[in-house]
A and B are shown apart, each in its own frame.
Chain A
Amino acid sequence: MAGRRGRNKNEYYFDYSLLFIILFLVGFGLVMIYSASAYGASQQMDNEMYYLVHQATAAGLGIVVMLVVSRIPYHFWEHFAVLGYVVSILLILLVMTPLGYEANGARRWLDLGVSVQPAEIAKLAMILFLASLICKIGRKVRSMKGFCMILALAGLVSGLVWKVTDNLSSAIIIFGIAGLMLFVASPDYKRFVIIGIIGAAGAALIVFLIANAGDTEGMGFRSARILAWLDPESDPSDKGFQTLQALYAIGSGGIFGKGLGQSMQKLGYLPEEQNDMIFAVICEELGLFGAIAVILIFILLIWRFMVIANNAPDLFGALLVVGVMGHIAIQVILNIAVVTNTIPNTGISLPFISYGGTSVLFLLIEMGLVMSVARGIRLKDV
């Protein structure tokens, strides 16, 4: 398939399916942001286009940057791998200085003329850094020492993101990306299966302990979130509020939805309607068909990543794509799982669709990287 698409004058491959999917997601995201945010924007900003304009600006810039990046051979970026890693740590630490500012109750942003979320930059930096590092240390990655070193380097950034910017979701994603790249880079399965089982058992134990704790007083907000997850209707006005409002939106969408723009829940009932919870608005307006279509698009996107990674001209390229693939996959799965109350609530956005300038810009840069890797595929190799 890729071969047929790529049959143009250029003997190198350009993944048009990927480009189409990305453009579709960005376009669809803008439509949904406008639909979800217009009411809130007209109430708070007196301008119903507020969020749309901001997001469209970031997305337009992002597409240009993506196309530029896709033309630059990806090995060029290898020189910046360590620098990127260090800079991302510095940016995270900068949040603690007066340059950082707080929004929605969490201090996650930097005001550098434009507002920047260091965690988003750290994700890209981590992908680049680990791809470069794994290639450099070669077979040492298979040793326990290499394994632990990579986890420690990722864990440092991840821990900073968690503790400094109080952003557990981004920390999980960064660590997940590192884990996936490590998984792909080493031939071993056993180690990962064991870690996976221990992790799952630990999570189950924590949930079990919290669910059966008699005394709910004095628990942290994460414990409270777990209780709200188990039974959101038991506490509809407080911890379960956001989850329950999302479920109202999803459930009331039904099979065919209320129609684009017809969501009731976005009229001030559902918090974060253009942000983390935008998937609920999609469900309400476009119904089960819309929801499944969105999931299918993301599956397609990840499939394209798989194809590109498997045909990448070298390990560095493949690992770059794997990192991006992990980033998108983890974030989409976690977001949809949160919105549908499949896992406890944690703030996580839906790539390309949720509102967020830094997020969409850096996602598009990552897409540019993937396209650049795809360009390196010689048609005869496919």
Chain B
Amino acid sequence: MEKSKTFHRRKIVTFFFLCLVLFCGLTARVVYLMVFRSQHYTEMAEDLHQRERKIKARRGRILDRNGEVLADNRTVCTISVIHSQIQEPEEVIAVLSKELGMEEEDVRKRVEKVSSIEKIKSNVEKETGDAIRAYGLDGVKVDEDYKRYYPWSDLASKVLGFTGADNQGILALESYYESWLEGEPGLILETTDARGVRVEGEGEKRVEPVSGDDLCISLDRNIQQYATQLAEQVKKAKEADSVSILVMRPDNGEILALADVPEYDLNDPFTLPEETGAVTQEQQQELLNRMWRNACISDTYEPGSAFKIITASAALEEGVVTEGDTFQCPGYIVVEGRKIRCAKVQGHGTETFVQGTMNSCNPVFVTVGLRLGVDRYYHYFEQFGLKKKTGVDLPGEAGTIMHKKEDMGPVELATVSFGQSFQITPIQLATTVSSLINGGKRVTPHFGLKTLDQEGKVTHTFAWPVEKGIVSEDTSARMREILFQVVENGGGQNGRVEGYRVGGKTATSETLPRGTGKYISSFLGFALAEDPKVLALCIIRNPKGVYYGGQVAAPVIRQLFENILPYLEEKEYNKT
């Protein structure tokens, strides 16, 4: 037998050390994976092993300025199935389709789908959820969560907006204040094996949901309700297309009411009011969007004579006119060969500037506008904030549609001076006039006041920008007096309220295209004339019969003021 030689031993030892080196390399690799990559792989593995079930957070409520609930939550149930835990699929399908009123086919598809958890239906009434739970079926989960509920159904629908299937805000305030209202959803984490069966002994991890904060808004439910009633009455009486009433505080921009009839039912926002004959999905959606649209924010119109307030303020501020200046009105005025007519065909004759405003005389304002000239007029247009959006806390605000400065000639300037040939939103008009009569502070119109936690403690107070000095105190005071005269003795007499000094301005504008006989009648009023605490704007679109703002819209504001001025005094809103 051959003996093994020295070189054999050396080679065996060599091999051993080669193995040792390789083992050391593998050990290093294992150390790398189990120490330095441990967190990464642990997280990925946990992701794989854990089944998540979301718990909806309670959405914050929306309260009016007196704490009345405008948007609330109701307990509803979400029904889901866990495929791997279902024992009797046929019974589950039968029970669920019966109790939920769903097609058996739909339920079957979901029940038989191999997934760790499958949602059958959400927003199920609590009673139905309880009934399903009472069957005690294996693999059927009934989770309670919240659904939005609007106790006043269609009140302030275009202000509040509504929420979607996952309780996310879709429109208006619900959408704008989403981050305050939504809260943080909670989670239930269960550890499961590869087939989705819960592993015994591995406790569920629960992350509790955090409720959203309540939002307190400046709206007053009483005023809103009354404004809505008035709007509905006048819409019916004048067979108008729509009527908007905006009530705000000129001193700080708080909006007390914003009615835009027809409103819609917030608890059922996807149902159109009547059979519309809309066939396609897009047509349907288009009609819904129109129904949800807030005309005060998202639609522009020609403000008409109400805009004379802006022209007058600019002219007074610039000193190109005083109250006593006299004008001649032959019923028209010629600008660069173009005849611009006054509302009163036979003319107002000789009149002062104040009388011209009371009469809403176009030639007077054309003259004043031309005295200012394009440069100065444009300067004030911008200084008053008319080129910017108001910054109201509702989504979808439309911008101003205005001539470019370089495209403006005397004719354009003349028409702009009495509120035609450009477009602004109603909220823009109300905000600008508020700022001109409140002493020259450009306020930001808004609803949001503060947020409250579950205990009612204030968590955040919203601050809204105020730009001071857009006109002088003096001009502001003179404007208030002129507008008081308009209501007391001029074209706005229908806006007079017994016992209160009210200022205001009427407006009537023909809609585009001209000559269709469609008009927008409006009236803007404020009280008290020397110390404005409330400003209201009523816009009636396409009224039948008499369409003059002074005849149609002013009485609406009068009725509104007759009711809310005493109420506001009582509520002491008019005390700062």
How far is B22's CA from A299's CA once the two chains are assembled, in angstroms? 11
- Using Cβ atoms and an 8 Å threshold, which residues of chain A touch B44? 248, 251
Given contacts A138-B2, A251-B33, contact A269 B9 (CB under 8 A): no
Scan residues 298-340 of chain A and give those whose CB is less than 8 A from a CB of chain B: 298-299, 302-303, 306, 309-310, 312-318, 322, 325-326, 329, 333, 336-337, 340
Of the listed stretches B136-144, B189-197, B387-395, name the one at the interface; the rest are far from the partner chain. B189-197
Residues of A within 8 Å of B23, CB to CB, are 295, 298-299, 333
CA A292 – CA B11 in complex, angstroms?
26
Interface 9-residue window, one of B12-20, B440-448, B513-521: B12-20
User: Does A255 have its Cβ within 8 Å of any Cβ on chain B?
Assistant: yes
B459 on interface, CB distance cutoff 8 Å: no
- Residues of chain B within 8 A (CB-CB) of A298 are 23
Q: How far is the CA of A38 from the CA of B37 in the complex (A)?
A: 28
Closest to B42 in A: A252
Query: B residues within 8 A CB of A333?
Result: 19, 22-23, 26
Number of interface residues of A (CB under 8 A): 51
Chain B residues, CB < 8 A from A187: 5, 7
Given contacts A249-B45, A291-B34, A314-B2, contact A264 B13 (CB under 8 A): no
Is B458 an interface position by the 8 A CB rule?
no
The answer to whether the Cβ of A288 comes within 8 Å of any Cβ in the partner chain is: yes
With known contacts A247-B33, A252-B45, A302–B16 Cβ distance under 8 A: yes
Q: A267-B194, A299-B23, A309-B12 are in contact. Are A292 and B30 (CB under 8 A)?
A: yes
Assess whether A325 is in contact with B1, with CB atoms less than 8 Å apart: no
The CA-CA distance from A196 to B20 in the complex, in Å, is 17
Q: Is A248 within 8 A of B13, CB to CB? A: no
Query: How would residues 22 to 40 of chain B score, 1 for a CB under 8 Å from any chain A CB and 0 otherwise?
Result: 1101110111011101101
Total number of B residues with any Cβ neighbor in A under 8 Å: 41
Quick check: is B199 within 8 A (CB to CB) of the other chain? yes
**Interface-facing stretch out of A54-62, A64-72, A177-185, A364-372:** A177-185
Q: Does B41 contact A (CB under 8 A)?
A: yes
- Residues of B close to A267: CB separation below 8 A: 193-194, 199
Chain A contacts of B4 at CB under 8 A? Answer: 309-310, 312, 314-315, 317-318
Of B12, B19, B27, B45, the contact of A265 (CB 8 Å cutoff): B45
A306, B16: Cβ atoms under 8 Å? yes
Are B199 and A264 closer than 8 Å at their CB atoms? yes
Whether, in the assembled complex, B3 has its beta carbon less than 8 Å from a beta carbon of chain A, the answer is yes
Residues of chain A contacted by B194 (CB below 8 angstroms) = 267-269
User: Is A180 in contact with B34, judged by CB distance below 8 angstroms?
Assistant: no
Is B8 positioned at the interface, with any CB of A under 8 Å from its CB? yes
CB of B48 closer than 8 Å to a CB of A: yes
Most A CB atoms within 10 A — which of B11, B33, B35?
Answer: B33
- Taken together as a complex, chains A and B put the C-alpha atoms of A335 and B42 apart, in Å, by 22
Residue-by-residue, is A214-254 near B (CB-CB < 8 Å gives 1, otherwise 0)? Answer: 00000000000000000000000000000000011111111
> B26's closest neighbor in chain A, by CB?
A336
Q: Are A183 and B34 in contact (CB under 8 A)?
A: no
Known: A39-B193, A251-B40. A322 touches B22 (CB 8 A): no
The answer to whether A288 and B12 have CB atoms under 8 Å apart is no
User: What's the nearest-Cβ distance from chain B to residue A83, in Å?
Assistant: 21
B12/A251 in contact, CB under 8 A? no
Out of B7, B12, B30, B41, which one reaches A322, CB within 8 Å? B12
Within B494-535, the residues touching A (CB, 8 Å) are: none
Checking B15, B20, B46 against A326 with a beta-carbon cut-off of 8 angstroms, the contacting residue is B15
Interface presence of A2 (CB below 8 A): no
Give Cα A342–Cα B8 distance, bound, in whole angstroms: 31
Whether A269 touches B26, Cβ cut-off 8 Å, given contacts A184-B12, A315-B1, A329-B19, is no
- Shortest Cβ distance from A75 into chain B, in angstroms? 8
**What's the dominant secondary structure at chain B's contact region?**
helix
Alpha-carbon gap, A135 to B8, bound state (A) = 13
A248 x B41 contact (CB < 8 A): yes
Docked-complex contact B34 and A253, CB < 8 angstroms: yes
Task: Give Cα A326 to B46, complex, Å.
Answer: 39
Whether A63 sits at the interface, judged by CB under 8 Å, is no
Asked, given contacts A264-B191, A288-B31, whether A306 binds B12 with beta carbons under 8 Å apart, the answer is: yes
List, in ascending order, chain A residues with CB within 8 A of B199's CB.
264, 267
Contact of B8 among A184, A250, A251 (CB under 8 A): A184
Q: Is B110's CB within 8 Å of the partner chain A? A: no
Residue of A with least CB distance to B9: A310
A340 touches B26 (CB 8 A): yes
Q: Choose one: A264, A287, A313; the contact of B34 (CB below 8 Å).
A: A287
Instruction: Evaluate whether A255 and B45 lie within 8 angstroms (CB atoms) in the complex, with A295-B27, A314-B2, A336-B26 already known.
Output: no
> Counting CB contacts under 8 A, is B49 at the interface?
yes
Is residue A283 contacting chain B, with contact meaning CB distance below 8 A? yes
Interface-centre pick from A187, A252, A303, A310 (highest chain B CB count, 10 A): A252
Q: How far is the CB of A347 from chain B (nearest CB, A)?
A: 18
Nearest A residue to B32 via CB reads A340
- Given the complex, which residues of B lie within 8 Å of A314, measured CB to CB? 1-4
Contact residues in B for A313 (Cβ distance below 8 Å): 1, 3
CB-based contact B30/A291 at 8 Å = yes
Interface centre among B2, B34, B40 (most CB of A within 10 A): B34
Query: Quick check: B27 and A251 within 8 Å, CB to CB?
Result: no
A268 touches B30 (CB 8 A): no
Contacting residues, chain A, for B12 (C-beta < 8 A): 184, 306, 309-310, 318, 322, 325
List, in ascending order, chain A residues with CB within 8 A of B5's CB. 187, 315
Shortest Cβ distance from residue A243 to the other chain B in the assembled complex, whole angstroms: 12
Contact of A185 among B8, B19, B37, B193 (CB under 8 A): B8
Q: Do the beta carbons of B15 and A180 come within 8 Å of each other?
A: yes
Query: Is the Cβ of A250 less than 8 Å from the Cβ of B11?
Result: no
Would A254 and B26 count as touching, CB distance under 8 A?
Answer: no
Interface residues of A in 257-300 (CB under 8 A from B): 264-265, 267-269, 283, 287-288, 291-292, 295, 298-299
Of all chain A residues, which has the CB nearest B192?
A: A267
Q: Which B residues touch A264, using CB under 8 A?
A: 45, 49, 191, 193, 199
A211–chain B nearest beta-carbon distance, Å: 20
Contact A250 B27 (CB under 8 A): no
Min distance, Cβ B298 to any Cβ of chain A, angstroms: 47
Q: Are B29 and A342 in contact, CB atoms less than 8 angstroms apart?
A: yes
Contact of A251 among B13, B20, B26, B34 (CB under 8 A): B34
- Interface pairs A-B: 6 shortest CB-CB: A251-B41, A268-B194, A267-B193, A248-B45, A314-B1, A252-B42
17 sampled A-B residue pairs with Cβ under 8 A: A39-B193, A247-B37, A250-B41, A252-B38, A252-B46, A264-B191, A267-B199, A283-B30, A295-B27, A299-B20, A299-B23, A306-B13, A314-B2, A315-B2, A325-B16, A333-B19, A336-B26
In the complex, given contacts A264-B191, A299-B20, what are 5 additional A-B residue pairs having Cβ atoms less than 8 angstroms apart?
A251-B33, A269-B194, A306-B13, A314-B2, A333-B22
